[in-house]
Chain A
Amino acid sequence: MNVLIDRFDVFAGGFWLTFQICLLAAIGALILGAVVAVLRISPVPPLRAVGTAYVTVFRNMPLTVVMFFAAFGLPALGSNADFLRIPLLDQVFSRLGADLPYFRFALIALVLYTAAFVCEALRSGVNAVPPGQAEAARSLGLTFGQNLRHVVLPQSWKASVVPLGSVIIAMIKNSALVGFFGVAGDLSQSADQLTSAEGYAFIPVAIGISIGYLIMTVPLGALLDRLEKRQAVAR
């Protein structure tokens, strides 16, 4: 059990890195997911097709494959994902000692993969608005844009929050993969480092790492449960 105290810095550092990856990936995935969702509900068939294809591909492929793709595919296309070296972000990366393409590749994979689920969560929100609401708006004479802005979106947003939250929880858990994928120093790779390389006993390390993830996932899950129950009552 001493390892939890002796190497607290490793656990804390791992947690911090994982947290940062998750934060960056969540922001990226929300933006990209919203774009894909707009494509998927647009009235223009080719755009809809692109959105649908995107979701089909990324929902049905293991994240592992997406990650390998990002890591091997991008370099083969002559890119080290340098477009992600936005000045401010770059500073964050280098302070993490992770100013490395693999970090960016992992981030790209996580964003691409999660965006497909974000898109579906947003779309399910739109679908959750009872058709009668839009019908009532239309029969008042509201135009499409007004309908969307004043009636559908404000309500769909509420219906999307819970599924979006679940997607984010899933993403936090998925982020554990980056540690097995060459991004050194995150929580799951710390487990590996401490047990394999430094020979600490396995069980305490496993407990420490688990706590690290549970700190992020369980409260968020509980919050979502509460939100969902409240919404169910309000309905």
Chain B
Amino acid sequence: GGDSDEGTGAGSKSFAAGSTMEKLNKAQKIKIGTKFDQPGFGLKGLSGKPEGFDVEIAKIIVKELGIPEDKIEWVETPSKVREDSIVNGTVDLVAATYTINDKRKERIAFAGPYYEAGQNIMVRKDDSSITGPDSFKDGTKKVCSVVGSTPLEEIKKHVKDVATQVVPFDTYDKCRDALKQGQVDAVTTDNVILLGYIAKDEASFKMAGDNFTKEPYGIGVKKEDAAFRTFINDTLEKAFADGSWKKAWDNTAGKFGATLGNPPTVNRY
């Protein structure tokens, strides 16, 4: 947003005494975990600052906390370290294409969702043999995803032989390269991530079929911090309403041609 200086500084907003919001506002500093290699959501490029939808959503929350944007410390949180980073207090919150699910709720809490993605499959442009997750049933096609991610676990349910068909890498970039070079036949993960790759290299890749899961993205916070979660939920609803949510999308992931649809309903569990 352009009006970022309005209403920032210590004590610029009033929060309940002892709450996380008050602490952060007093400190005028916040650490946010996001991805650095996720086009459209969190990508650190030549500018040295991460850019993307997750980043914009985080900035909206930070603004609501009364902290100026340049006081944010961005911390790289690849998929596998997200829970640990929250639990250990390495970051104050995580916005990193973070799918809400029950297993994760055992260790941390989610605000949101602020976006509903779905798992999809990316294949080489000239490949018509894969049309959906069931194409892996015959036991020949290899599919790649990232260690520790939900899509990896999901796709395991659709393949015949996990050991030979599922190829786990540590980043999606490697999966993409492997697909391009023919070492695997497909990459599966959330549609938005795949859209980012397709947008960058339309000559090589395409999507195979529709989303076959629902992946609601949430903001990860400490499990016991209900007040902070409520605050973020409020902030998100406000952003849905005032159009800043839509604006954030259009400036980032929206550029890849993905549709946004209606705002999701935040889940105040």
Contacts and interface: CB of A to CB of B under 8 A. Distances in A.
Contacts of A181: 170
A72 B107 CA distance: 37
Contacts of A75: 177, 181
Interface residues of B, number: 20
Nearest to B181: A75
Contacts of A90: none
A28 B178 CA distance: 25
Please classify how large the interface on chain A is, using the bins under 10, 10 to 19, 20 to 34, 35 or more: 20 to 34
B170 A182 contact: yes
Given A97-B163, A102-B174, A182-B169, A196 B183 contact: no
A196 B177 contact: no
B183 A192 contact: no
B147 A100 contact: no
A196 B181 contact: no
Contacts of A18: none
Nearest to B169: A182
A97 B147 contact: no
Contacts of A94: 164
Nearest to B168: A184
Interface in A72-109: 72, 75, 80, 94, 97, 99-102
Contacts of A184: 147, 167-169
A75 B103 CA distance: 38
A80 B174 contact: no
Contact of A197 (B80, B163, B169): B80
B76 to A, nearest CB: 15
Contacts of B183: 80, 100-102
A180 interface: yes
A69 B84 CA distance: 31
Given A100-B167, A102-B169, A184-B167, A196 B148 contact: yes
B81 interface: yes
A99 B183 CA distance: 9
A182 B80 contact: no
A97 B161 CA distance: 10
B58 to A, nearest CB: 22
Interface in A167-185: 180-182, 184
A189 B107 CA distance: 22
A75 B176 CA distance: 13
Contacts of B169: 102, 182, 184
A207 to B, nearest CB: 18
Contacts of B103: 199
A96 to B, nearest CB: 9
B181 A199 contact: no
29 contacts: A71-B177, A72-B177, A75-B181, A80-B181, A80-B182, A80-B183, A97-B163, A97-B164, A99-B164, A100-B167, A100-B178, A102-B169, A102-B174, A102-B178, A180-B170, A182-B169, A182-B174, A184-B147, A184-B167, A189-B147, A193-B147, A196-B80, A196-B81, A196-B84, A196-B147, A197-B80, A197-B148, A199-B83, A199-B107
Given A101-B181, A102-B169, 5 more contacts: A71-B177, A97-B163, A100-B167, A101-B178, A101-B183
Interface of A: 71-72, 75, 80, 94, 97, 99-102, 180-182, 184, 189, 192-193, 196-197, 199
The 6 residue pairs across chains A and B that have the minimum distance between CB atoms: A196-B80, A197-B148, A97-B163, A196-B148, A184-B168, A101-B183
